[in-house]
């Protein structure tokens, strides 16, 4: 009772509707160029328009963009393209750069080798100087030790030699030679020793004090004599101390150890 009776005509009208639905689904599955020429529905027509129609900016380019495209002249950029370096040019430039760098490196290598050689020579010279300086230092120390020992030995010999020295003060400077002075000393010492006959006394040396002779009437310089015999020197000095005074040709004399 509630069912409506469908007429055969109504059922036939559903076939075109299904047929019209098939192209609309196909539009979503295939590209716009594969669409049939049948009238699309509203939604499909809008989708096709959005996929196929270009942007307004593409259809109507700006004046500046069109002017920029039309202003480039092939006569301008073709020479620029022709002047671009080729692979052979780049290879040649690379070869020249490599040769230049290798030449500079060779110069640097030669300079370094020269500096290394000079440094080696300087180090060898420094080592030689150091060894020579060490040898010189050792020799200098040895010579210093020898000189010090010689100085001590000379001082000892001088002190030993001075043990036999006598200093006679007050003897007038009337002698004319060293032999004359030696004869005067021989007479004085024999008198002190109470020798009846003159005896020979061996002198190492006999001389006046080493200073300039004074003017006439000044005090005469001392006489310094060295005897070979130390015992004889001590005997003479003891006799001079025992005697109250002794003189030579009326001149008072004094005798001291030097």
Question: Which residues make Cβ contacts (< 8 Å) with residue 41, sequence separation at least 6?
Answer: 20, 24
Inside any domain, residue 117: no
- Number of structural domains in the chain: 1
Q: What is the pLDDT of residue 11?
A: 45
- 10 Å CB burial of residue 188 (0-12, 13-18, 19+) is buried
What 3 state SS string does the chain have?
Answer: CCCCCCCHHHHHCHHHHHHHHHHHHHHHHCCHHHCCCCCCCHHHHHHHHHHHCCCHHHHCCCHHHHHHHHHCCHHHHHHHHHHCCCHHHHHHHHHHHHHHHHHHHHHHHHHHHHHHHHHHHHHHHHHHHHHHHHHHHHHHHHHHHHHHHHHHHHHHHHHHHHCCEEEEECCCCCCCCHHHHHHHHHHHHHHHCCCCCCCCCCEEEEEECCCCCCCCCCCCCCEEEEECCHHHHHHHHHHHHHCCCEEECCEEEEEEEC
Q: What is the pLDDT of residue 216?
A: 83
Inside any domain, residue 73: no
Distances (CA, A) of 58 to 51, 72, 170: 14, 20, 147
Inside any domain, residue 30: no
188: CATH = 3.30.70.1820
Q: What is the pLDDT of residue 17?
A: 47
| Structural domain that includes position 176 | 165-211+218-257
C-alpha span between 106 and 216 (Å, rounded): 94
Does this model's pTM top 0.85? My answer is no
Inside any domain, residue 132: no
Category of 217 on φ-ψ map: left (φ > 0), alpha (ψ -120 to 50) or beta? left
- Residue 206 CA, chain-centre distance (Å), reads 66
Please check whether residue 227 is in contact with residue 202, taking contact to mean a CB–CB distance below 8 angstroms. yes
The tens-digit pLDDT sequence of the chain (258 residues) is 444 444 444 444 444 444 444 445 455 444 444 444 444 454 444 544 544 454 544 445 454 544 445 567 777 888 888 888 888 889 999 999 999 999 999 999 999 999 999 999 999 999 999 999 999 999 999 999 999 999 999 998 888 878 889 999 999 988 889 999 999 999 899 988 888 777 888 898 999 998 888 888 888 999 999 998 888 999 999 998 888 788 888 888 999 887
Inside any domain, residue 80: no
Inside any domain, residue 159: no
Inside any domain, residue 67: no
């Amino acid at each position: 009772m509630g069912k409506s009776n469908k007429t055969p005509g109504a059922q036939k009208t559903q076939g075109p509707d299904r047929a019209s639905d098939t192209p609309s689904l196909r539009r979503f599955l295939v590209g716009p160029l594969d669409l049939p020429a049948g009238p699309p529905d509203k939604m499909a027509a809008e989708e096709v328009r959005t996929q196929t129609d270009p942007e307004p900016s593409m259809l109507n380019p700006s004046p500046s963009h069109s002017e920029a495209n039309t202003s480039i002249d092939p006569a301008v950029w073709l020479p620029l393209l022709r002047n671009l370096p080729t692979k052979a040019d780049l290879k040649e430039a690379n070869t020249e750069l490599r040769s230049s760098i290798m030449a500079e490196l060779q110069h640097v290598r030669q300079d370094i080798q020269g500096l290394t050689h000079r440094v080696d020579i300087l180090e060898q010279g420094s080592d030689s100087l150091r060894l020579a300086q060490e040898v010189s230092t050792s020799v200098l120390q040895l010579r210093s030790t020898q000189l010090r020992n010689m100085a001590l030995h000379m001082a000892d010999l001088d002190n030993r030699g001075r043990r036999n020295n006598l200093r006679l003060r007050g003897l007038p400077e009337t002698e004319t030679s060293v032999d004359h002075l030696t004869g005067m000393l021989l007479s004085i010492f024999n008198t002190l020793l109470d020798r009846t006959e003159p005896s020979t006394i061996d002198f190492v040396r006999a001389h006046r004090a080493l200073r300039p002779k004074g003017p006439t009437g000044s005090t005469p310089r001392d006489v310094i004599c060295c005897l070979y015999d130390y015992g004889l020197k001590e005997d003479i000095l003891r006799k001079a101390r025992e005697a109250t005074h002794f003189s030579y040709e009326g001149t008072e004399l004094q005798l001291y150890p030097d």
